[in-house]
Chain A
Amino acid sequence: MSRLSRRELLKISAASGLGSALSLAGIPHAVAQQGEQLLVVMWGAAWIEVSRKIVDAYVVKTGDKVAWELHAGGAMAIVAKVKPAWPHVNYNLISGWDPVFRAMIKEDWVEPVTLDEMPALKDIPPVFFQKNAKGELMTVPLSTAGAFWGYRTDLVDKPIESIEQLLEPRFKGKLCVPFPVNLTGLLMLTLAMQRGGNERNIEPGWGFLKELAERGQIGRVINNNSEFINAMSSGETSVAFFNIGAWTQVRKQFPVKIMSKIKDNKGFLFNEGFAVIKQNDPKKVAAAKRLANHFATPEINEQYNWPLGEGPTNPKSKANPDIADVFYKPDELAQYAYIADFEYMASQVDGWAKRWEQEIAPLIRRS
């Protein structure tokens, strides 16, 4: 009978300890050595919840490991965070939407994606992608989202037909609006369009906004999804303009009418998704593309968008029936929907933010 030496015993113990640790972490031994560590930026609330669920299964399958970082405030904040650190950033995938992607593409931080590397993208309509000057695909569109006016029907006595009605005394202190930087100034655009303006003729919007502020209608100014959900769920405010994802979270608990089809105004459509960030290590880039592709596959794209209340970009995925009343049929698009010139608006938001601080905030404070 052979006896184990002390050195052999230590070796076996160390090996079995490591094996147990890997098994406990749910990582198969062989794959654990191959996996890449990725850092992904995602929104909080329902976005991170559903993403974690998707990635938990993905990690076991591929051996890639994913660490999360949440957006602080609007998605544009990540751009300000990357800028001082570039090129020494560890982000591999950043979730965002069209204007944020335009800013990142302009700074040359984004890795182009191809249909050969990411087969799931072949299903996605080309119009959803953001492209660079060479026409290369620069984003991985995952959701079709929108920004709309809406209200809680349990807190508003009569239905709202037009946002002109928001000037009525019954809405004093009841309006929740985003700071003009948020949604890249879509609030300014909807108000301008109500009075005959557009992105390049925003002045009518300022006139409308001043009337609302002077009459004390604005009860809360928000900067992110969580603030919106808090303000609308607590009943502090009953009417708001914000993105469909945040509206969906409120709709899960309270009766809400989303005014996506108003006769004298429009709803705004845009895409959300991932940008693959440039990195020196090609293995990390490949792993980031692998993960983004996974999110774009029909099954996962459906699983991702269902709880968010956003439309899947992959036509093979089914949309949540709860949002059927919000989004548009093809023949309704021209009448009710509007796709803003986000590139132009992004160049204006600094001026709009300052004008808000100088002209609107003092009115709200005084009213």
Chain B
Amino acid sequence: MSSLNEAAAPRPRLSAFQWALLAPGAVLLMVLLVAPIALMALESFRPFVAGRVGSGAGWTVRNYTELIEPAYAFYFYDTFRIGFIVSAIALLLATPLAWQAARTKRRATRVSIFGLLIGLLFMSLVARLYAIQMTWGSTGPLAFFGTLIGVPARSSGYAAIQVAIGLLHFVVPMAAMILIGTFQNISPRLEEAAASLGAARWRVALTVTLPLAVPGLLSAFMIAFAMCISNFVVPLILGRGIVLFTTNLMYVRFSDVANFPSGAAIGMIMFALAGFVVYALAGLVRWLAPAEARP
């Protein structure tokens, strides 16, 4: 009944002062985000004149129709597939780290975990990527790892593994930092209550902590996924020009060929696909999370 009353209640109106507070941020958002995307959307329908720079006059849908080629579906599929796998592995690696950092009573352990995560966030990504290349690259000391798992070091599959390792460096600290907040917000008393009723630690983790952490886990997954599929530098350095993300295709269009309309069309498709994935994952959160844990 109370929820019905809440639904029927008129929405509170924003005062002039509240509008004034919102205005600078809204204007900034319009100028920095909405306007460039709108311009990019318009550019994606412009024709490209070969040998010239940028777009020509008139309108066309050719920049989109040429992406219907099956070969391009593979680039989108590969970007999303590697992004999905890396995000899932990142969650597996980040969850225990974050839980330990949130729950440990030992200050030294907490400081060490925070130090590691913040250190990874601040250390130059490019330096780390070249370190990965030197270590895991086809002539690096750990290249035998590929042979052990049946992926030759000079193969494209091994290049994909290197890209995944590079992306993990990038997203694990971010996911762990998000999850620390999630675990800190789950009252330890709930876990203590379950334990006092005789539940084993693994059962407490699986039936109490994990369901309550679902929204945070999915948020971390979404952010990790967004960071992976929009990443440019990791496939550029570690992909050996063989594993290419859609960002790399966009870069070639904009930068090397100066075909801005085609680059813009790839960008708009990525924008739509990423929006769809985020919407679907948000739906998954509502479906999976217990009512009390829903945002």
Are A358 and B252 in contact, CB atoms less than 8 angstroms apart?
A: no
B249 at interface (Cβ–Cβ under 8 A)?
yes
Are B154 and A234 in contact, CB atoms less than 8 angstroms apart?
A: no
CA distance A231 to B267 in the complex (A): 30
Are A83 and B256 in contact, CB atoms less than 8 angstroms apart?
A: no
Assuming A77-B256, A358-B72, A361-B244, what are 11 further A-B pairs, CB within 8 angstroms?
A81-B255, A83-B53, A173-B152, A182-B256, A222-B241, A231-B240, A236-B154, A350-B259, A351-B50, A357-B72, A358-B69
Q: Which of B53, B243, B256 contacts A179 (CB 8 A)?
A: B256
Residues of A at the B interface (CB closer than 8 Å) are: 72-74, 76-77, 79-81, 83-84, 103, 106-107, 172-174, 179, 181-182, 216, 218-223, 227, 230-231, 234-236, 343, 346-351, 353-354, 357-359, 361-362, 364-367
Across the interface, which residues of A come within 8 angstroms of B152, CB to CB? Answer: 173
Are B66 and A354 in contact, CB atoms less than 8 angstroms apart?
A: yes
Across the interface, which residues of A come within 8 angstroms of B255, CB to CB? Answer: 72-73, 76-77, 80-81
Are A80 and B254 in contact, CB atoms less than 8 angstroms apart?
A: yes
B211 at interface (Cβ–Cβ under 8 A)?
no
| B: contact size bracket | 35 or more
A185 → chain B closest CB, angstroms: 11
Interface centre among A83, A216, A235 (most CB of B within 10 A): A83
Are B243 and A80 in contact, CB atoms less than 8 angstroms apart?
A: no
Are A179 and B252 in contact, CB atoms less than 8 angstroms apart?
A: yes
* Given known A-B contacts A103-B53, A346-B51, A357 and B71 have beta carbons under 8 A apart: yes
CA distance A103 to B257 in the complex (A): 11
A275 → chain B closest CB, angstroms: 14
CA distance A353 to B248 in the complex (A): 12
B35 → chain A closest CB, angstroms: 14
Are A221 and B258 in contact, CB atoms less than 8 angstroms apart?
A: no
CA distance A76 to B260 in the complex (A): 13
B79 → chain A closest CB, angstroms: 13
B189 at interface (Cβ–Cβ under 8 A)?
no
- A selection of 8 A-B contacts at a CB cut-off of 8 Å is A80-B258, A103-B51, A179-B256, A223-B236, A234-B137, A236-B240, A353-B252, A367-B156
CA distance A192 to B139 in the complex (A): 32
Contact with A along B116-147 (1 / 0, CB 8 A): 00000000000000000110011100000000
Are B51 and A84 in contact, CB atoms less than 8 angstroms apart?
A: no
B114 at interface (Cβ–Cβ under 8 A)?
no
Q: Which of B75, B156, B244, B260 contacts A80 (CB 8 A)?
A: B260
A166 → chain B closest CB, angstroms: 15
B48 at interface (Cβ–Cβ under 8 A)?
yes
Are B156 and A365 in contact, CB atoms less than 8 angstroms apart?
A: yes
Are A173 and B260 in contact, CB atoms less than 8 angstroms apart?
A: no
Are A74 and B54 in contact, CB atoms less than 8 angstroms apart?
A: no
B276 at interface (Cβ–Cβ under 8 A)?
no
Are A181 and B257 in contact, CB atoms less than 8 angstroms apart?
A: yes
Across the interface, which residues of A come within 8 angstroms of B52, CB to CB? Answer: 106-107
CA distance A346 to B133 in the complex (A): 33
Chain A: CB-nearest residue to B259:
A350
Chain B: CB-nearest residue to A352:
B257
B29 at interface (Cβ–Cβ under 8 A)?
no
CA distance A236 to B137 in the complex (A): 8
CA distance A224 to B134 in the complex (A): 19
* Given known A-B contacts A236-B139, A357-B75, A364 and B50 have beta carbons under 8 A apart: no
Across the interface, which residues of B come within 8 angstroms of A76, CB to CB? Answer: 255-258
CA distance A173 to B75 in the complex (A): 22
Q: Tell me the residues in window 33-49 of chain B with beta carbons closer than 8 Å to chain A beta carbons.
A: 48
10 smallest CB-CB distances across A and B, nearest first, come from A221-B241, A347-B51, A173-B154, A358-B71, A77-B255, A181-B256, A80-B258, A83-B53, A350-B257, A220-B240
B242 at interface (Cβ–Cβ under 8 A)?
yes
Across the interface, which residues of B come within 8 angstroms of A230, CB to CB? Answer: 133
Are B54 and A83 in contact, CB atoms less than 8 angstroms apart?
A: yes
CA distance A76 to B155 in the complex (A): 30
Across the interface, which residues of A come within 8 angstroms of B75, CB to CB? Answer: 357
Chain B: CB-nearest residue to A173:
B154
Chain B: CB-nearest residue to A346:
B51
Across the interface, which residues of A come within 8 angstroms of B262, CB to CB? Answer: 350
CA distance A227 to B251 in the complex (A): 16
Across the interface, which residues of B come within 8 angstroms of A103, CB to CB? Answer: 51, 53, 258
Chain B: CB-nearest residue to A353:
B257
Across the interface, which residues of B come within 8 angstroms of A216, CB to CB? Answer: 155
Across the interface, which residues of A come within 8 angstroms of B243, CB to CB? Answer: 365
Across the interface, which residues of A come within 8 angstroms of B241, CB to CB? Answer: 179, 220-223, 227
Chain B: CB-nearest residue to A356:
B252
Are B252 and A181 in contact, CB atoms less than 8 angstroms apart?
A: yes
B74 at interface (Cβ–Cβ under 8 A)?
yes
Are A223 and B256 in contact, CB atoms less than 8 angstroms apart?
A: yes
Chain B: CB-nearest residue to A362:
B71
Q: Tell me the residues in window 14-37 of chain B with beta carbons closer than 8 Å to chain A beta carbons.
A: none
Are A361 and B53 in contact, CB atoms less than 8 angstroms apart?
A: no
Chain A: CB-nearest residue to B75:
A357
CA distance A361 to B241 in the complex (A): 9
A97 → chain B closest CB, angstroms: 14
Across the interface, which residues of B come within 8 angstroms of A107, CB to CB? Answer: 52-53
Are A359 and B54 in contact, CB atoms less than 8 angstroms apart?
A: no
Q: Tell me the residues in window 212-264 of chain B with beta carbons closer than 8 Å to chain A beta carbons.
A: 236, 240-244, 249, 251-260, 262
Chain B: CB-nearest residue to A181:
B256
